[in-house]
Each structure stands twice: as C-alpha cells, then as structure tokens.
Amino acid sequence: SQQGEEDPQALSIQEGENATMNCSYKTSINNLQWYRQNSGRGLVHLILIRSNEREKHSGRLRVTLDTSKKSSSLLITASRAADTASYFCATDERDDKIIFGKGTRLHILP
Amino acid sequence: DAGVIQSPRHEVTEMGQEVTLRCKPISGHDYLFWYRQTMMRGLELLIYFNNNVPIDDSGMPEDRFSAKMPNASFSTLKIQPSEPRDSAVYFCASSSQGGDYEQYFGPGTRLTVT
C-alpha cells in the first residue's frame, strides 16, 4: 500500500532558487519524515515532523505539516548543486512500519 | 560508527541461481528493515525484524524470498531461485527506536538477474 504521494515527480530549478516539494497522504499519521537519496546511494534521513507540529526547520530545510489537508511540504532555500537528488516523504503505518512515496527528482541547474 | 554495511554492492547472476544479500546494522539498533527499490514500484518494505525476530514479512513477494537474522549484527536476504523480475536495488536499514522513527540506510545491493 502506498501512503505518501510526492508532487511534482520532477523539478528543475536554477542554483540559488528555492525548491518546494509536496507530499499528500491518505490516513491519519503520528509523524511524517523526509529523506534524500543521491544517485546510486542509500536514503538519508532529513527531518521528522510529528502530527502535533505545524512547522520544523533544519538548516536550509523547512517542513510544514497540515494534518487537516493530509499534506506536507519540504522547502529547500538557496539551492545548491549538491541538493540534486530524489526526495521522499515517509508516513508511519501500524506496527512500526513506514511507507515511502515514489519521490520527487530535484535537479539544480548551474 | 561505519553505518549500515551491505554486501555485495553489485550482484549479477543468471536466472535460477541462488542469491544471498548481507547486511550488518548499526550496533545497538534493535530494528532491521529490508527494502527493494525499482523504478516501477518505488521503495517497498519486504520484511523487518525487531530484536532479531521477524515481525512483518507481508512484503516478501513470494516463497522464493527468505530472510534471517541469526544475531543482532547480521542479516541475510536470500532469493532462490532468482528470476529476471527480481532485478532491483535492495536496501537494508536499521533503527534504534522503531520503524516510524529515523532509519539509517545502507548503500544498497544492485541485483541484476539475466
């Protein structure tokens, strides 16, 4: 079963611009996570936001969560070439499982 | 800590052969997860363990797949016999607090079955 759906599927922006990715999910959650995957590598955890939180920051990352709309967004400010990667949201399900979306492929243009 | 270690990094095998993928989780992590990633299906959870005990194997595609965790520092995922549709990247991840908290992923094993 797939819980989170990222939007857009792919995004290309100029270096220095902000990148925004969205995630929508279907059922109620306890928390939502964002991960990054560089080409040919494993996923790296970026940030976790709990259902009672509305916004969270980590460096150039800002995550928002709207439980009434069942959606989250990941904002990367002042993008860099190193931000080129795929970004996944993951939502918790019962029994210690999380379900990953199919990801947004972000390409930062020089 | 070296992080999650997987071996081999690449595996090319012929249809019908047995394939064994290996994983060493981060020391002290009680949860271990096996995922499969393909372009078509994305990242799928195959099975996960807590304290070396398999908790949920509902994602294992069929009986050709099996996983074991004989101790806290080692797990295997075996495919026997392998088929071309098993070609994918297989990831192992570990966590100290459960599956719905931060997971640490290994570099993955890229499996190609010809």
Q: How far is B15 from chain A (nearest CA, A)?
A: 24
CB contacts under 8 A, B 68-107 vs A, are 91, 93, 98-107
Give me the pLDDT at residue A3, please.
66
Q: What is the mean pLDDT of residues A80-104?
A: 89
Count of positions (residues) in chain A: 110
From CA A91, how far away is CA A101, in angstroms rounded?
Answer: 9
Beta bridge partners of A58: A61
pLDDT digits 0-9 by tens, B58-113: 999 889 999 999 999 999 999 999 999 999 999 999 999 876 789 999 999 999 99
Q: What pLDDT does residue B1 have?
A: 64
Q: Å from A6 to nearest chain B CA?
A: 12
Instruction: Give the model confidence (pLDDT) of B21-68 as tens digits.
Output: 999 999 999 999 999 999 999 999 999 999 999 999 999 988 999 999
Whether A1 shows a pLDDT value over 60: the answer reads no
| CB atoms A92 and B99 under 8 Å | yes
pLDDT of residue A71: 95
Long-range contacts of B67-74 (CB under 8 A, 24+ apart): B67/B34, B69/B32, B72/B25, B72/B30, B73/B24, B73/B25, B73/B27, B74/B22, B74/B23, B74/B24
pLDDT in tens, A6-41: 889 999 999 999 999 999 998 888 899 999 999 999
pLDDT at residue A94 is higher than 80: no
| Greater model confidence, B87 or A97 | B87
CB < 8 Å to B102, chain A: 33, 45, 48
Residue in B43, B45, B56 closest to A88 by CB: B43
Q: What is the pLDDT of residue A97?
A: 82
Using a CB-CB cut-off of 8 Å, the residues of chain A touching B43 are 43, 88, 100
**pLDDT at res. A7:** 87
Tell me the mean pLDDT in the region A51-72: 96
pLDDT of residue A95: 64
The CA–CA distances, whole Å, from B111 to A29, A51, A84, B74, B99 equal: 33, 37, 25, 20, 25
Q: How confident is the model at residue B10 (pLDDT cuts 50, 70, 90)?
A: very high
Shortest distance between the Cα of B28 and any Cα of chain A, in A, equals 17
Q: Would you give the DSSP letter of residue A93?
A: -
Please report which confidence band the pLDDT of residue A2 belongs to, taking 50, 70 and 90 as the band edges: low
